[in-house]
Amino acid sequence: MEMPRSQAAFERAKRVMPGGVNSPVRAFGAVGGTPFFAERGEGAYLYDIDGHRYLDYILSWGSLIWGHAHPEVVRALREAAAKGTSFGTPTELETEMAELVTSLVPSIEVVRMVNSGTEATMSALRLARAYTGRPCVVKFEGCYHGHADSLLVKAGSGVATLGLPDSPGVPAATAETTLTVPYNNLDALAELFTRRGEQIAAVIIEPVAGNMGCVLPEPGYLQGVQDLARRHGALFICDEVMTGFRVALGGAQSRWGLDPDLTTLGKVIGGGLPVGAYGGRREIMALVAPEGPVYQAGTLSGNPLAMAAGLTSLRLLANAAADGLFERLERFGQAVVEAFTEAGRRVGVPVWGSAVGGMFGLFFHAGPVRDYQDARAADKEMYARFFHRMLEHGVALTPSQLEAKFISALHGEAELALTQEAIDAAFASL
C-alpha cells in the first residue's frame, strides 16, 4: 500500500525519537512495514496522512470506547479548556470523578487519580508493600502492567512484542522481588504461596490477559487467585487498566464476581486523555499521602481536561450500558472471531479467537490459547501478513498478535460487514 507521506514522516521521526515513536508498540515491530501516521479520527474511523481511511480496532489501545472525536467529549474539553487547563489546586471535577468511579466499581471505596496505567500499578504495589510490610509481588507471565521497574519481568505487550524477557536496566534486586507464574495455572500459584507466601505483599493480575492478545481466564481461575491471596495475607490487585469499563460497566471484577483489595484503572477512564487511577478498600487507601505515609504525587493528576473527558465518557457509558451496550459489543467481537475462524477453516490455516465485552483476540494457532506459552507459539509471520492484508482492505488491527483488539460503541452493522469482507479477502490472499 502506497504511504509516501508516512514513510517520510517515519524517517524524520526516527532522527529525533527512539524508534520514531513515543511508545514501542506503535512502531510496527511485530508486523513489519512502516507505521501509518494518523491525520485525524472520526467515530470508528482513523485517517492517515496519505489519505487512507481505516476502520479502527486500535482505538488508542482501548482508550476510545466512544471512538474518535465524540462530539460530547470534544464539547466538554472545549468548555473545560476555556476555563484553564490545570490549577494545581483541588477542583470539584475530581470529586465528581471519584464519586462516579466508586459508584460504578463497588470494591473501590476510595480512589486516587494519576496520569497513566503505569503510575496506577506502580503506586498500588508500593501501597500493598506498605500495608502488608512484605517485599514481594506476584505477576503472571505475559501480563503487562506498565513499565515500572518491578513489573518489567516476563511482561506482555511491548516487552513481549520486542521479545525482551525482562528489560535491561531493571536492577536484579528489584527483579528478585517480583515472582512470576503462568496464567490460568492455580497449582503453580499455590505452590509459590506455599514456598514464599509470608513474603508476598500482593498478587496483580489482568483479569482478562489483553497483553498476550486477549486470553480469557478459565472458569474459577480468578476466584482461585483471589482466594489464594487472601488465605496467605496478600492483597489481590485487579489491573483493570484495559478491562475497566470495557468488558462490563463494572469491569471484569463485576463479570466474575471478584472483590479485589485494590483495582487499577486507565484508558477508558480518561476518555482519550492521560488518566490512570488506583483505589480500593478504605483502610488500605488511608495509607496514601497526605492521609497516610505512603507517598505518591503528580503535578497534573486529576487535571480538569482529563476529568472532563473522562467524566463525559463514563456518564455516556453508564447510560448506554442500561441499553445493552456491553452485550452488543460482545456480540460484535464474537462475530469478528467467527468470521476469522471460519475463514481460517476454509483455507486450512489453524486459527483461534477469543472475545469478551469490547475486546477480542485473533491468533494463528490451532488453540486453545490459555497462557503466554501458547500465545507466543502462535504464528507471528502469518499474523503480520494478515495484519497488512487487513490494512490494505481498510481495517487497522493492533500491530501485534499479542495485543488485544478493541471495539467502540460506534462500531455498528456496517463496520461488522466491512470487517467480515476484509477478513475473507485477506485470507484469500494469505
What residues line the site for ligand KE4 (CB under 6 A)?
23, 25, 61, 116-118, 121, 144-146, 157-158, 206, 210-211, 239, 241-242, 266, 276, 403
Write phi, then psi, for 332 (nearest 5 degrees). Answer: -65, -50
Map grid coordinates 494518523 to a residue.
38
For residue 165, the SS3 value is coil
Residue 258 identity = L
Q: How many CB atoms lie within 10 A of CB 104?
A: 20
Round to whole Å and give the CA distance between 244 and 146: 15
Neighbour-count burial for 150-161, b at 16+ CB within 10 Å, e otherwise: bbbbbbbbbbbb
Measured distance CA(294)–CA(131) in Å, rounded: 9
What's the closest the beta carbon of residue 158 comes to ligand KE4, in angstroms? 5
Rounded to the nearest 10 degrees, what angle do helices 186-196 and 221-231 cross at?
A: 10
Residue closer to ligand KE4 (CB basis): 145 or 365: 145
Are the CB atoms for 419 and 413 separated by under 8 Å? Answer: no
Least gap, CB of 333 to ligand KE4 (angstroms):
17
Chain CA centroid to CA 199, Å: 28
To the nearest whole angstrom, how small is the minimum distance from the Cβ of residue 2 to ligand KE4?
26
Burial of 219 (0-12, 13-18, 19+ CB in 10 A): exposed
Least distance (Å) from ligand KE4 to the CB of residue 126? 15
Q: Which is nearer to ligand KE4, 94 or 206 (CB)?
A: 206
What residue number has its CB nearest to ligand KE4? 117
Residues, the chain: 430
CB of 324 to ligand KE4, least distance (A): 26
Query: Which entry of 48, 56, 239, 371 is annotated as an active-site residue?
Result: 239
- Of 60 and 185, which CB lies nearer to ligand KE4 in the complex structure? 60
Distances (CA, A) of 190 to 13, 81, 204, 234, 293: 47, 51, 15, 13, 32
Residue number with CB closer to ligand KE4 (162 or 366): 162
Rounded Cα distance between 272 and 254, Å, is 23
Active site residue 267: yes
The C-alpha cell that represents 77 in the structure block: 474539553
Q: Which is nearer to ligand KE4, 274 or 353 (CB)?
A: 274
| 58 contacts 190 by C-beta, under 8 angstroms | no
Instruction: Specify whether 371 is catalytic.
Output: no
Catalytic residue among 267, 372, 374, 380: 267
Annotated catalytic residue within 45, 54, 131, 144:
144
Catalytic-residue membership of 154: no
> Least separation, in Å, of the C-beta of 273 and ligand KE4?
11
Closest to ligand KE4 by CB, 403 vs 415, is 403
Query: Where in the sequence numbering do the catalytic residues fall?
Result: 144, 239, 267
